[in-house]
Amino acid sequence: MDLPNHRHRRGFLTETGMGMTGLAISSLLAQEASAGNGAREPHLPPKAKTVIWIFFIGGLSHLESFDPKPALNEYAGKSIDETPFADDVLDPDKINEILLDPAKQKREVYKKIMPLQTGYRPYGESGLLVSDWFPQLGSCADDLCLVRGMWTIDNNHGAQLTYHTGRKITEGAFPTVGSWVSYGLGTANKNLPEFVVLGHPSADCCGAAWTHGSAYLGPRHAGVQLKVDPQAPLSFVSPADEQLTPQEQLDNFGLLGKLNRIAGIEYPDDPQLQARIKSYELAYEMQTAVPQVMKLDQETAETQKRYGIDRKESKDFGQKCLAARRLTEQGVRFIQVFHGYRGNAGAWDSHRDIKKNHSRLAKEVDQPIAGLIQDLKQRGLLEETLVVIGSEFGRTPGAEYRDKNVAGTGRDHHPHGFSVALAGGGVRGGIAHGATDELGFHAAEDRHYVTDLHATVLHQLGLDSARLEVPGRKRLERDIGTVMHKILS
């Protein structure tokens, strides 16, 4: 067939969808449509649809939250050397074995034992021990799984990045657990991102945007930061020209769509271009969807109170947790909720005055998280929503004495043993899995590196971490992790 000279062959292929490139794109579009707005088939039958990943920036004390140790009160004021546990706890090989570079990573072991700074008691039929700083979470004990044998490889706040990628901060950016979820499953709602971030992430010292980034998976799988503000939830969710009518804007996007498709055929392998095209299309859809999700005043006063929105100290985080539930209902796959940003290592980093700092911070998060779990359960969503609560590491059993003239009132960083809490999503409730030693120093039973948590989360969503491979990007065994089958129902 003869074509007019001005009809370029590539333009013809673009318009007709013919040729190898056109056929490939047509096939991809057909696959995407048949999968339901870009959703992909999981590797395994999923037990959960959504993950709400709550992260406390700076290092929550496991000892005054989910792993109280009576021995700290019994031996308070004594040196670890004076306890029956000294040989095991202070074994230098044991202390150094988890750190990738002990010569640089080793910190002073503070030996003078600090007593627990709050009380604790058993909760629920399960009798799980939870500290008095978290009474509302304690009331959810029979839905909680406390994983008490966690450990990590960095004893400084680069561990915030390690918690999300499994790698040390000196190795740079690697895909985060949320980006693997986006990559593995795709979207369940074309109007919203697969991976949403609520709250300000870590500071520059500790990973910053890398803590919700996607690295070599490409920018389309990175977390999208949203604000809990229906008037301005995201900078690009309103048209640049506010004089445009919705129909005029739709017509403009129709033209842009045609241009984007032409560019996509011209440069089919450019991930930055594909991500930009996706962001424009998603931005248009989000103009309506995101502000609607953030209209928390649509919730009843009773629901808002459940999240602590009626109280000054818990209002801000309560709003984020309520927004997370609303995003869950809209099919968002992974919702990452940060607490404790302050431009440095994080608010939970309590080297001094841990009693004052942690008790205040706990009041900000305890009611909102408990309200989230209770609300999900009441709505029949907890079974398909996995809530994960954690921090980059724990705090030391010994009091920190950096200034020898000041009494130790805080606890130092502690990567050797700490806790995370989970609820819902096919995880057994009312159990404690794993354990630290008598002083809460080393992970001693059912020890789990942070990527075991990743592997477990992915497994519950129907993804096999070992099968999430990208050609040319070899993952280490440590990156892949091991599923914690003992905690699964």
Quote the tokens at residue 424.
């819902």
Q: How far is it, in rounded angstroms, from Cα 343 to Cα 218? A: 27
Q: For helices 246-266 and 19-34, what crossing angle results, to 10°?
A: 130
Quote the tokens at residue 34.
């048949």
Give CA separation, 206 vs 2, 5, 173, 179, 450, in Å. Answer: 62, 58, 12, 18, 16
Q: How far is it, in rounded angstroms, from Cα 33 to Cα 39? A: 9
Q: How high is the mean pLDDT of the chain?
A: 87
What digits encode the pLDDT tens for the residues 364-412? 999 999 999 999 999 999 999 999 999 999 999 999 987 765 679 999 9
Q: How far is it, in rounded angstroms, from Cα 101 to Cα 104? A: 6
Q: How far is it, in rounded angstroms, from Cα 435 to Cα 442? A: 9
pLDDT for residue 343 is more than 50: yes
Radius of gyration for the chain, computed over Cα atoms and rounded to the nearest angstrom: 25
| Average pLDDT of the segment spanning 10-24 | 39
| Average pLDDT of the segment spanning 105-109 | 73
Only one residue has tokens 């304690």, namely 138
pLDDT for residue 7 is more than 90: no
DSSP string, 405-445: TS---SEEEE-SSEEEEEEETTBPSSEEESEE-TTS-SEEE
**Cβ neighbours around 67 below 10 Å, total:** 26
By three-state DSSP, how is residue 84 classified? coil
- Residue 294: what pLDDT? 93
pLDDT for residue 20 is more than 80: no
Q: Is the backbone of residue 201 left (phi > 0), alpha (psi -120 to 50) or beta?
A: beta
- Residue 18: what pLDDT? 39
What digits encode the pLDDT tens for the residues 109-165? 999 999 999 999 999 999 999 999 999 999 999 999 999 999 999 999 999 999 999
Give me the residues paired with residue 151 across strands. Answer: 449
Only one residue has tokens 């962001």, namely 279
Q: How far is it, in rounded angstroms, from Cα 92 to Cα 107? A: 12
DSSP string, 139-181: TTGGGEEEEEEEE-S-SSTTHHHHHHHSS-GGG-----HHHHH
The one-character DSSP state at 209 is G
pLDDT for residue 280 is more than 90: no
pLDDT for residue 278 is more than 70: no
pLDDT for residue 361 is more than 90: yes
Nearest to 199, CA basis, from 228, 161, 235: 228
| Average pLDDT of the segment spanning 62-68 | 98
| Average pLDDT of the segment spanning 324-340 | 98
Q: Looking at per-residue confidence, does 17 or 283 come out higher?
A: 283
What digits encode the pLDDT tens for the residues 217-258? 999 899 999 999 888 887 655 544 455 555 555 555 555 555
Residue count (the chain)? 489
pLDDT for residue 259 is more than 80: no
Query: For the purposes of burial, counting CB atoms within 10 Å of the CB of 292, is it exposed (0-12), middle (13-18) or buried (19 or more)?
Result: middle
- β-strand pairing of 50-56 with 443-445: unpaired
The one-character DSSP state at 341 is -
**Cβ neighbours around 163 below 10 Å, total:** 28
By three-state DSSP, how is residue 366 classified? helix
Contacts of 112 (CB under 8 A, 6+ apart): 77, 78, 79, 398, 399, 401, 408
At 291, the pLDDT band (50, 70, 90 cuts) reads confident
- Residue 24: what pLDDT? 36
- Residue 402: what pLDDT? 73
By three-state DSSP, how is residue 103 classified? helix
Dihedral sign (CA 217, 183, 338, 155): negative
Q: How far is it, in rounded angstroms, from Cα 442 to Cα 448? A: 11
At 311, the pLDDT band (50, 70, 90 cuts) reads very high
| Average pLDDT of the segment spanning 87-103 | 85
pLDDT for residue 26 is more than 50: no
- Residue 233: what pLDDT? 80
- One-letter amino acid of 102: P
